[in-house]
Amino acid sequence: MYATVLNIAAMVVTLVAAPLVPGAAAAARARSAGLSGPSVIQPYWQIAKLLRKQYIAPTVASPIYWSGTLVGVAAVTSALVAVPAAGGISLPSSDAVVVAYLLMLATFLQVMAALDTGTPFGGMGASRETMFAALAEPGLMIAILGLTVGSGTTRLSSALAMPEVSPMGLLGHASIALALLVLGLAENSRMPFDNPATHLELTMVHEAMVLEQSGPGLALVHLQSALKLTLFWLLALNVVVPMARPDSWGPIVLVLIPLALVAGGTLLGLLESWLVKARLFRAPDLLVVGLAMAFFGLLVGVIA
């Protein structure tokens, strides 16, 4: 009962603290440029402000427009709480294959919502997002399966809590961690694949898909982005710390989770301040690198 209560508390803390990741990233990026920048908790104020505004949808939009965003947030939330560091120890969605498909579902719904607007920018952003997803999603599936191949099960809680890892297994985990870094930047539309701070028509990917969103719909878009960033960071953290589970850390994990999210956002902001945006048709080359590293990690896991 104690472990169950602690896991549920960790899930709640993770979901509430998720906006700290983009907040810390924006703050770190501004500080590295010598600017005062926004506060770490700025995303909370932004989401709260958007929730109070009126919801406006294009006249040609169908229920896909608003339901896609809502179901997408639900899919990413279900995938996030399945990660062991977020308390997902015995949930039905804690299977690695289920997590990968939930992320694919969220991407598909976001693309469909962008196409449903009938605007040129929505179609342009959706086509670019689909191009990235065609290479990022298979690599993500391979990377997640690579984490579980040595345990004989696809349940993340069992695969990421192995007490002993061979030197060959450590090499595979390092390759998968790097693959998750590359694929995570693409999945979250971050540098060098996309600049989340720009609205330049020729370079927009994610922002082009959500230009028509407003009010609560836009708030859900920001929330989904924060949840997905948190998921990739905690998943990478589980690769580095195999026992990153709430029931193994005790109540202190409720404090460590927000600190870990701030640290992850800070590292992301510093990395983005160093990277430059890649040309659109060079981005697939980077995704192929991530796919190759994920496949290498899978092969090493099978051999080890």
Residue 167 CA: distances (Å) to CA of 86, 164, 296: 27, 10, 15
pLDDT at position 82, please?
Answer: 82
- CA nearest 20: which of 270, 264, 271, 273? 264
Domain residue limits at 256: 2-303
- CA nearest 223: which of 75, 14, 81, 19? 19
Backbone angles phi, psi at 253, to 5 degrees: -65, -25
Q: Give residue 40's pLDDT band: very low, low, confident or very high (50, 70, 90).
A: very high
Q: For the residues 170-179, what does the mean pLDDT come to?
A: 83
The pLDDT tens digits for 6-15 are 878 888 888 9
Q: Give residue 32's pLDDT band: very low, low, confident or very high (50, 70, 90).
A: confident
Q: For the whole model, what pTM was predicted?
A: 0.88
The pLDDT tens digits for 222-247 are 999 899 999 988 888 777 775 555 56
Q: In total, how many domains does the chain have?
A: 1
* Whole-number Å distance between alpha carbons of 132 and 129: 5
